[in-house]
Amino acid sequence: MKATAKAHTNIALIKYWGKRNESIILPTNSSLSLTLDGFYTTTTVDFSEEYTKDQFTLNERPIEGEQLRRVTGFLDLIRQHAGKSLHAAVHSVNEVPTAAGFASSASGFAALAAAGSKAIGLDLPERELSALTRQGSGSACRSIYGGFAEWEMGTKEDGSDSYAVPIAPAEHWDLRVAAVVLSSKMKKVSSRTGMKRTVETSPFYQGWLDSIPAEMNQIKEGIKELDFEKVGEVAEANCLKMHATTLGANPPFTYWHDTTMTVMETVREMREKGIPAYFTIDAGPNVKVLYLPENEEVIKNTLRTIPGVADIRLSRPGQGVTYL
C-alpha cells in the first residue's frame, strides 16, 4: 500500500501566530498564505505488514529521535482515521534549502498527509486532508492548495471546522517572492516555542488578535482586485504586528538580526523610488520580499548588494498537493 505525493511550502501574508489547542493544533487566528513553486517536498509512504516499526528517511538519510517521533505520531493519526495498524516506511526528499529560511515542515507535513492517507486507502476531500495536515504542523494545512489559501481558524473544540480553503489559484496572479538569505545565523527560538511564549506572556497579544479580521478582509479584497499595493501594505503591517508581540513576551525575544532591519529599510527605500516591493518575515531573521515580475531584475540586484546578504532565491506562485 504505497503512494507518493508532492507539496510546496507557503509564505504567510497574514500570519498564524498562536494556538488555542496545542495537541490538535487549533489556532487563535485565521491566516492566509501564498504557496510557492520553488520549494517543495516529495514523500513516499509505504504501509506494509512486513514492517515491525515505522521508518523515516529524509534526503536518503535515516532519521531517528524527535523528528522520527513527529512522523510516527502523525502516522498514528492516519492509522486511527483508517482503522488500521500497519507500520510504514516513509521516504522524503526536500527541495526546501534550510538556508532559504522557509519552514520545510509546511511542505513536509502536507506531502506526508497526502501520501500517507492515499497509501492507507483513505480518499479524503481536500478540507479533511487539510484538517489532518494541520495536526502535523499548523502552517502546513495551507499547502494543500496552490496559490492563495486561507486557514479558517474555526470555533469547534474538536477542530473539525479548522482547515484551509482555496482563495485564488496560482494562475490568478503572478505575484513573486524573493527569499533574502542572511549570512549570519542567530540562536533560534522555534515558531512553536515563540508563539506559545507570546500567547502566554505578551501584553501585546490581544492587540494582534484584534487586528486580524480587518486585515484579512483587506488582503482578500486586494488579491481579488490584483491590487499589489493593498496586498503588500497589509502583509507588511501584519508581519510587523506579529513581530511586535515577541518584544512584549517574557522573556522578551526577537527574530530580527541587524541585516534583517537593513533589508526592511532597503525595501522601503525602493518604494520611495517608485519600485513597488513589500517585505514579510517568519520566525527567523530572513526576509521575504514581495514584488511583481516586471521588477524582478531591479529587486534582485538591489537586494544582492546589501552587506550580510548571502543569497537571493526567487519564487513564483506554486501548485497544491499532487500525487505522482
Whether the ω angle into residue 251 lies within 30 degrees of 0, i.e. cis, is: yes
Q: Is 12 in the site for ligand DP6 (CB under 6 A)?
A: yes
The CB-of-13 to ligand DP6 minimum distance in angstroms stands at 9
Measure the CA–CA gap between 206 and 216, rounded to whole angstroms: 16
The residue among 227, 286, 220 whose CA lies nearest residue 13 is 220
User: What is the Cα–Cα distance from 280 to 237, expressed in whole angstroms?
Assistant: 9
Inter-residue contact 89 to 48 (CB < 8 Å)? yes
Q: Does 103 bind ligand DP6 (CB under 6 A)?
A: yes
Task: Give the span between the Cα atoms of 234 and 239, in whole angstroms.
Answer: 9
Among 100, 114, 164, 283, binds ligand DP6 (CB under 6 A): 283
How many residues bind ligand DP6 (CB under 6 A)? The answer is 14
Nearer Cβ to ligand DP6 (94/137): 137
d(CA 132, CA 139): 12
Pattern 122-141, ligand DP6, x by CB under 6 A: ---------------xxx--
Cell of 26: 487549533
Q: At its nearest, how many Å lie between ligand DP6 and the CB of residue 229? A: 22
Nearest approach in angstroms of CB 120 to ligand DP6 is: 23
107 near ligand DP6, judged by CB under 6 A: no
Q: Which residue has the cell 485565521?
A: 30
Q: Does 71 bind ligand DP6 (CB under 6 A)?
A: no
CA distance linking residue 281 with residue 246, whole number of Å? 13
Pick 5 or 36: Cβ nearer ligand DP6: 36
Stretch that binds ligand DP6, among 12-20, 35-43, 154-162, 304-312 (CB under 6 A): 12-20
User: Rule CB under 6 A: which residues touch ligand DP6?
Assistant: 12, 15-16, 25, 31, 103, 105, 137-139, 191-192, 282-283
